[in-house]
Chain A
Amino acid sequence: MKMNRRQAFGFGAAAAAFAVTGFRVAPAVASTEDTDKAIMEFTGGKAPAAGKITLTAPEIAENGNTVPVSVSVESAMTGDEMVDSVIIYADGNPSPGVATFHFTEMSGAASATTRIRLSKTQNVVAVAKMKDGSFFMDKKQVKVTIGGCGG
């Protein structure tokens, strides 16, 4: 790679500048403990099981302002085989809550998609509450990238 002194300095300074501006001071960032606490409130203290629910989120988000996430729960959506609701948390945001989807038999399927804000690389967690009182959880880490030029 051919580079003269001016160019080298330019990039060095650029990198240093990015390192400084890349950090944003986020007030009261939710910790994973806050998220765990919120989950326990949602489940009434029950530990959610794995399975049944699938959370789809990109491995890498080009910008944390608009990150598409989808949830889908295996269910016949009638009688006892019903999904009541799905709650989504983000464990690195200023507060963990993101959205809660409420389903009915007329939903036909327990699936939903939305776009969310993630302040940094973190876990997105989805917990499904079934009509029979059981809970299921899925978790995905989303790497939130900071662009080359000021994010």
Chain B
Amino acid sequence: MAESKPRVKVPKTAKAGEVITIKSLISHEMESGQRKDKDGKPIPRQIINKFTCEFNGKPVFSCDLDPAVSANPYIEFSAKVTEAGKFKFTWVDDNGSVYESENEITVN
């Protein structure tokens, strides 16, 4: 499988105190552990099990994922923006890999 690539959609600017919508998507098979290969052997589970969003170092939102989340997990949520700064997004893979993405936002 190709390297997992995260995508995040965050508005570039917001009004102070505005609640914005953030959309995130990462390419990942989300192998459930329920499937079998051609020889009938179970394919081991390998999923993204955690997603977190921080703003200027403080937690905004997080999500624990089970194998019932679809391939290429999509997560949409809200964030209240009170100041300019940086969002940091983190995805944790069962295999220990951590994928990160950052987005800056200005406040007007």
Contacts and interface: CB of A to CB of B under 8 A. Distances in A.
A and B in direct contact, judged by CB atoms within 8 A: yes
Interface of A: 26-27, 65-67, 70, 77, 90, 93-95, 97-109, 111-118
Interface of B: 19-20, 32, 34, 55, 58-71, 73-80
Contacts of B59: 104, 106
Given A116-B69, A116-B70, A100 B64 contact: yes
Contact of A117 (B69, B79, B80): B69
B76 A112 contact: yes
Nearest to B60: A106
Nearest to A67: B70
Given A108-B80, A109-B78, A112-B75, A117 B64 contact: no
Contacts of B78: 107-109, 111-112
Given A27-B34, A114-B73, A115-B69, 13 more contacts: A90-B68, A95-B66, A101-B61, A102-B61, A102-B64, A106-B60, A108-B80, A111-B77, A112-B78, A114-B74, A115-B73, A116-B68, A117-B32
Contacts of A105: 80
A143 to B, nearest CB: 17
Contacts of B71: 65-66
Contact of A107 (B69, B70, B74, B80): B80
When A and B form their complex, which 10 residue pairs have the shortest distance between CB atoms, in order from nearest? A108-B80, A108-B19, A113-B76, A97-B66, A109-B78, A115-B70, A100-B64, A98-B68, A106-B60, A112-B77
A77 B77 CA distance: 14
21 contacts: A65-B70, A65-B71, A66-B70, A94-B34, A97-B66, A98-B68, A99-B65, A99-B68, A99-B69, A100-B64, A106-B60, A108-B19, A113-B75, A114-B74, A114-B75, A114-B76, A115-B73, A115-B74, A116-B69, A117-B32, A118-B68
